[in-house]
Chain A
Amino acid sequence: MGWTAADFVDGGSGPAILARMDQSSPATPVTRSPVIGSAVPRKDAAEKVRGRARYIDDLKYPGMLHGATVRTRAAGGRLLGIDFDPAVDWSSFVVVTAADIPGANSTGMLDGDQPVLAADRFRHSAEPVALIAHPDRARLREALAAIRVREDAQPRPLFDIDASLAAGGGLCPGNTFRDYLMSHGDLAAGEAQAEVVFEGRFETGAQEHVYIEPQGMIAHVDAAGVLVVEGSMQCPYYVLDTLAAVTARSAGELRVVQRTTGGGFGGKEEYPSHIAAHAALLTLAAGGRPVKLVYDRAEDMLATPKRHPSRTQVRVGARRDGRLTFVDIDFALDGGAYSTLSPVVLSRGVIHAPGPYRCPSARVRGRAVATNHPPNGAFRGFGAPQSIFAIEQAMDGLARQLGISPLALRQINMLRPGDVSVAGQAIDSATDFDAVLAQALAESDYLARQARHAAFNATGGRLRRGIGLATFHHGAGFTGNGEVVLASEAAVRARRDGQVEVLASSSEMGQGNTTTLCQIAADALGLPVERVTQAPVDTQEVPDSGPTVASRTCMVVGLIVEQAARQLRARLIDEAALAREDMSAEGFAAACARWFDARADAPALEVHARYEPPAGVMWDETTFQGSPYAGYAWATYVAEVEVDLLTGEATLLDFVAVQEVGRVVNPVIAAGQVEGGVAQAIGFALYEKVVRGAQGEMANNRITNYIIPTSADVPPIRVFFQEQRAGTGPAGAKGLGELPMDGPGPAIVSALNAALEGTGAMPLSRLPAMPEDILEATAGVHRTGEAA
């Protein structure tokens, strides 16, 4: 073969994307940084492209056992007992139940209401009640079939948000995990000023992450008596905290190691703590022997969290000229049976609910509602895609009622410098949302295509076309005071030969953060990126830089890494005579050598830094007013669709994604984040539907029947970045990872509604908009040719 994997890695699509970026970037670079902004090859690319990366299920240890999980069937009730078929010789199995837990029987997430293993009562189907392990993986399946969990099922399980609220209790007080109210301005005055009011109800469905690698862990006790758990995860220190509580061990007796992680998307934020606890309990019961607990796809889909289903009631009012006067939103998430991460998913959803619009008065009530579904959890966007879908569709509805275009309504109301958002945050002078919208309109040829589609649709064939847009923003980092509470820490460490390591618990899971963190450090140190690597993520080796979530790694952790790197360089200048103007790798290495030569006993040249919140970031958790995020990425997405009225099938013809993200650290990785996020959101919008069985369990828990889009279903995704370089992150960067999940749903449904305009179809108001929904909305349309 004439090429090697390195050709792909080194060449890539870098030049093409750089060219696009140069067109879209403000022409103001003062000094072109050699590392930040360049499409350096991913640090993890070669081993992954060559198939050498070792995932958790690739690892084997001598004497290793394989674990499996015994789960409930019913959607809640009392556990009466667990029967082990006497026909099976159980002596060769390790068996663990709640009675074997040395510490707390709680995963420890926020409210701590979720047991590691159900002991008495249970609240949902597929809830873990016991664990087994055996050296022969093949014997686990028959063993599971020989274990019967005796259940006294509760009579009327609750699967619907409003039914659960109406029931008023049973799962937790009011069946409500959290009830938040964001209040801004004088709502009564806003209602009085409104001349046109739109009201609507919008729903979004559950979504499964479908990370390419199902979840898994291996636990063992090492020779020093340390309990070691390794596996696929986003948040090693969350896992460590859960293990400490469940095993009643001190942090020094625990070690968590992140292995090559095949995707996360939020799905590996919290659930890995459960699997780690399960694997740990098994290894402790097995005398420390290694135990591997890896889910197959069906179990992963059945048991692990999904994106929260939502329903949102929106009232939004405006003057006749289109200026908003009030917005009143009732937003509710299906939290599932335990609160897990629902409170924080809810707060992000509430804050994003009014959209990026200026509105003098607003009320957003948000509730995380308990149901008998398996708990829902973190998923890229974290509540924002749900509430943004609702406000964007409500804006379209209001525009219809006002008789103006959805575009015009947005142009009238979008946040601009000097405005204050509904959350009470002043919009800074660097924000230029108009420029983002303008580029999206230009790149998508929005107005011309709208006119062409109108003419095409007027011919009355079975195909209809439409174009739609969504304007939105996404706050990066933890909500409110979260980053202050986290107080994340990261470090850089130089070796004698001038090679530098970044020390952070931020996990590479395919999103590219190892590469971007290395670029950030290299940039601050004046080194080529080849001189910087990220140390393996191991809680005994790296500080807690916080969880790898919330679009925070580049912006927040990157900033800490940048600070640590700058301090490292300053120390070499002060302590090892590194010339201030010497930006050469050779000069840096020579300074490192001098530093170590002068300190024969120094173990390491290592500099730690902690997160310092930007000045003026204040957040009031009780009123939901203040500055909920240190930075926002701003975006306009445009979708173009074609609908077949025979089948209700929607085909995406084109997709334009324009976003202002402060500063692009690596253009290929950033574009990959947007393309991947848009593809995942296309699934959320058109294909991915979690079908529930009678016990609320996922009935289509196979990739055959849970449909994610393939490359054949995804249109060209045209990605454009604007860079104001005013973000709070390194070199002015802001968070990006979740943003692309927010816009496609509303843009696609807007395009569908535009395509169906004039057919008499009811506007679509639910995600996913499946062919079944589209055909139902157009009921009667397809009969136009029929004889009367």
Chain B
Amino acid sequence: MSAGAQRWYRPRELAEALAIKASRGADVQPIAGGTDLMVAWRLSTAPMPALLDLGAIGELRGICEDPDRVVIGATTPCSTLAADARIQRGWPMLAQSAALTGSVAIQNRATLGGNVMNASPAADNPPVLLAYGARLHLASASGRRVVDYSGFHTGYRQTIARPDELVVAIELPRPAEATTVWYRKVGTRRAQAISKVALAACLQWQGSRVIRARFGFASLGPVPALAGALAHRVEGCDPGRLDAGALAQAIDEDFRPIDDVRSTGAYRRQVAINLVRGALGLA
């Protein structure tokens, strides 16, 4: 069998995986937990692509913490994140979102890197990564680069990752002093649900004023995204003195949510406003 015809790769070393990616690019589909891909294939008439199974690469899995950050291997499963004491203490929103991803069985297989690379606008962990100011470590046979996650998603299911690249780690800086976090997933039900709206907020305070704000949203647009206009509106303000109309206006600048089978644009907009009010301690 020629290399080009191979349908399944399971390298044990990252270098080997990157070499396969270098030669076959987009023709080979990386797979980790498979929790999104296997569902998609079942619904699709397209033939299954060649697969690059990342599950045997030890260096892609694990959590590493230092005083400034935590670095999470891309194939670390959600259940590990949800149960990890370092994550629970330092980045509690990630422990929460990981525990709300799919079902328990899904959490055992689904990986953080997979959740990012699947690039669903409704994915559960990206809002939290956005709020914490995550950086992605991308690797290819020609080297590594570290990019801000906030610019990673460029359009519906589109990312800046090149066909020869794999996401190998997700880095979260340790939140600054006097930072509060607030996370809420509004799903179609309490468990095993896809979000209608989700908000992860990271707010740094100086007295009663917010000096740094990041609001990561899911399901309000074609990509998981930070609400930039909203953050700009909030930063420097005492939330108790914020004009409610201005909050709504800022959210309208950031997002134009749509109707779909799960909810309505009007509901998503109103809930987004209400969640922001919750995050700011106004409701």
| A residues neighboring B (CB under 8 Å) | 141-142, 145, 298, 462, 645-649, 651, 687, 691, 699-700, 704-705, 707, 709-710, 712-713, 771-772, 775-776, 779, 782-783, 785-787
Are A710 and B45 in contact, CB atoms less than 8 angstroms apart? no
**Contacts A783-B244, A786-B244; A707 near B189 (Cβ below 8 A):** yes
Are A785 and B262 in contact, CB atoms less than 8 angstroms apart? no
Q: Residue B26 at the A interface, CB < 8 A?
A: no
Of residues 183 through 230 on chain B, the ones whose CB sits less than 8 Å from some CB of chain A are: 184, 186, 188-194, 196
Which residues of chain A are near B242, meaning CB under 8 Å? 787
Are A647 and B262 in contact, CB atoms less than 8 angstroms apart? no
Looking at B158-166, B173-181, B270-278, the stretch in contact with chain A turns out to be: B270-278
Are B274 and A646 in contact, CB atoms less than 8 angstroms apart? yes
Please pick, from A462, A699, A709, A776, the residue contacting B189 in the complex, using a CB distance under 8 A. Answer: A709
Which residues of chain B are near A775, meaning CB under 8 Å? 267, 270-271
* Cα–Cα, bound, A699→B190 (Å): 22
Cβ distance B249 to chain A, nearest Cβ, rounded Å: 13
Which residues of chain A are near B189, meaning CB under 8 Å? 687, 707, 709-710, 712-713
Chain B residue at minimum C-beta to C-beta distance from A788? B244
* Cα–Cα, bound, A558→B196 (Å): 48
Are A772 and B194 in contact, CB atoms less than 8 angstroms apart? no
Are A707 and B193 in contact, CB atoms less than 8 angstroms apart? yes
Are B45 and A705 in contact, CB atoms less than 8 angstroms apart? no
* Cα–Cα, bound, A635→B137 (Å): 61
* Cα–Cα, bound, A700→B194 (Å): 13
Are B188 and A646 in contact, CB atoms less than 8 angstroms apart? no
**Contacts A785-B277, A785-B283, A787-B243; A712 near B267 (Cβ below 8 A):** no
* Cα–Cα, bound, A298→B186 (Å): 25
Cβ distance B84 to chain A, nearest Cβ, rounded Å: 23
**Contacts A700-B261, A704-B194, A782-B274; A687 near B244 (Cβ below 8 A):** no
* Cα–Cα, bound, A713→B196 (Å): 17
* Cα–Cα, bound, A704→B43 (Å): 12
Are A646 and B243 in contact, CB atoms less than 8 angstroms apart? no
Which residues of chain B are near A462, meaning CB under 8 Å? 278, 283
Which residues of chain B are near A787, meaning CB under 8 Å? 242-245
Q: Residue B56 at the A interface, CB < 8 A?
A: no
Q: Residue B282 at the A interface, CB < 8 A?
A: yes
Cβ distance A712 to chain B, nearest Cβ, rounded Å: 4
Which residues of chain A are near B274, meaning CB under 8 Å? 645-647, 782
Chain A residue at minimum C-beta to C-beta distance from B246? A787
Are A705 and B262 in contact, CB atoms less than 8 angstroms apart? yes
Chain A residue at minimum C-beta to C-beta distance from B271? A647
Interchain residue pairs with CB less than 8 A apart (25): A141-B45, A142-B45, A145-B45, A462-B283, A646-B271, A646-B274, A646-B278, A691-B261, A699-B261, A705-B194, A707-B188, A710-B190, A712-B190, A713-B189, A713-B191, A771-B196, A771-B267, A772-B264, A772-B267, A775-B271, A782-B270, A782-B277, A785-B277, A785-B283, A787-B244
* Cα–Cα, bound, A692→B267 (Å): 18
Cβ distance A57 to chain B, nearest Cβ, rounded Å: 15
Chain B residue at minimum C-beta to C-beta distance from A142? B45
Which residues of chain B are near A141, meaning CB under 8 Å? 45
Count contacts on B: residues with CB < 8 A to the other chain. 30
Q: Residue B263 at the A interface, CB < 8 A?
A: yes
Chain B residue at minimum C-beta to C-beta distance from A711? B191
Which residues of chain B are near A651, meaning CB under 8 Å? 190
Which residues of chain A are near B262, meaning CB under 8 Å? 700, 705
* Cα–Cα, bound, A649→B189 (Å): 9
* Cα–Cα, bound, A687→B190 (Å): 11
Cβ distance A655 to chain B, nearest Cβ, rounded Å: 16
Which residues of chain B are near A785, meaning CB under 8 Å? 244, 277, 282-283
Known: A646-B278, A651-B190. 10 other contacts (CB 8 A): A142-B45, A645-B283, A647-B184, A772-B264, A775-B267, A775-B270, A775-B271, A785-B282, A787-B242, A787-B245
Please pick, from B43, B186, B194, B283, the residue contacting A649 in the complex, using a CB distance under 8 A. Answer: B186
* Cα–Cα, bound, A469→B217 (Å): 38
Which residues of chain A are near B45, meaning CB under 8 Å? 141-142, 145
Cβ distance A419 to chain B, nearest Cβ, rounded Å: 42
Cβ distance B92 to chain A, nearest Cβ, rounded Å: 20
* Cα–Cα, bound, A699→B259 (Å): 13
* Cα–Cα, bound, A623→B243 (Å): 63
Cβ distance B254 to chain A, nearest Cβ, rounded Å: 19
Query: Interface digits, B43-66 against A, CB 8 Å rule (1 contact, 0 not)?
Result: 101000000000000000000000
Give the interface centre of A141, A775, A786 by most chain B CB atoms within 10 Å: A786
Which residues of chain A are near B267, meaning CB under 8 Å? 648, 771-772, 775-776
Are A772 and B263 in contact, CB atoms less than 8 angstroms apart? yes
Please pick, from B190, B261, B271, B277, the residue contacting A705 in the complex, using a CB distance under 8 A. Answer: B261
Which residues of chain A are near B282, meaning CB under 8 Å? 785
Cβ distance A642 to chain B, nearest Cβ, rounded Å: 12
* Cα–Cα, bound, A559→B267 (Å): 52
Which residues of chain B are near A648, meaning CB under 8 Å? 267, 271
Which residues of chain A are near B192, meaning CB under 8 Å? 710
Which residues of chain A are near B194, meaning CB under 8 Å? 704-705
Which residues of chain A are near B277, meaning CB under 8 Å? 646, 782, 785
* Cα–Cα, bound, A707→B189 (Å): 7
Which residues of chain B are near A707, meaning CB under 8 Å? 188-189, 193
Are B283 and A687 in contact, CB atoms less than 8 angstroms apart? no
* Cα–Cα, bound, A674→B189 (Å): 22
* Cα–Cα, bound, A65→B208 (Å): 72
Chain A residue at minimum C-beta to C-beta distance from B244? A786
Chain B residue at minimum C-beta to C-beta distance from A774? B267
* Cα–Cα, bound, A141→B46 (Å): 11
Chain B residue at minimum C-beta to C-beta distance from A698? B261
* Cα–Cα, bound, A623→B264 (Å): 45
Chain A residue at minimum C-beta to C-beta distance from B263? A772
Chain A residue at minimum C-beta to C-beta distance from B191? A712
Which residues of chain B are near A779, meaning CB under 8 Å? 270
Cβ distance B258 to chain A, nearest Cβ, rounded Å: 14
Which residues of chain B are near A687, meaning CB under 8 Å? 188-189
Which residues of chain A are near B275, meaning CB under 8 Å? 646-647
Are A710 and B261 in contact, CB atoms less than 8 angstroms apart? no
Which residues of chain A are near B244, meaning CB under 8 Å? 783, 785-787
Which residues of chain A are near B43, meaning CB under 8 Å? 298
Cβ distance B222 to chain A, nearest Cβ, rounded Å: 18
* Cα–Cα, bound, A705→B186 (Å): 14
Complex A-B, nearest 8 residue pairs according to Cβ-Cβ distance, in ascending order: A786-B244, A700-B261, A712-B191, A712-B190, A646-B274, A772-B267, A707-B188, A705-B261
Which residues of chain A are near B188, meaning CB under 8 Å? 687, 705, 707
Which residues of chain A are near B264, meaning CB under 8 Å? 772
Cβ distance B63 to chain A, nearest Cβ, rounded Å: 27
Which residues of chain A are near B186, meaning CB under 8 Å? 647, 649, 771
Are A646 and B283 in contact, CB atoms less than 8 angstroms apart? yes
Cβ distance B42 to chain A, nearest Cβ, rounded Å: 9
Chain A residue at minimum C-beta to C-beta distance from B45? A141
Cβ distance A466 to chain B, nearest Cβ, rounded Å: 19
Chain B residue at minimum C-beta to C-beta distance from A771? B267
Cβ distance A460 to chain B, nearest Cβ, rounded Å: 11
Of residues 98 through 145 on chain B, the ones whose CB sits less than 8 Å from some CB of chain A are: none
Which residues of chain A are near B271, meaning CB under 8 Å? 646-648, 775
Which residues of chain B are near A704, meaning CB under 8 Å? 194
Which residues of chain B are near A776, meaning CB under 8 Å? 266-267
* Cα–Cα, bound, A783→B262 (Å): 24
Give the interface centre of B45, B242, B262, B263 by most chain A CB atoms within 10 Å: B262
* Cα–Cα, bound, A266→B262 (Å): 26
Which residues of chain B are near A709, meaning CB under 8 Å? 189
Chain A residue at minimum C-beta to C-beta distance from B196? A771
Query: Interface digits, B76-91 against A, CB 8 Å rule (1 contact, 0 not)?
Result: 0000000000000000
* Cα–Cα, bound, A775→B269 (Å): 11
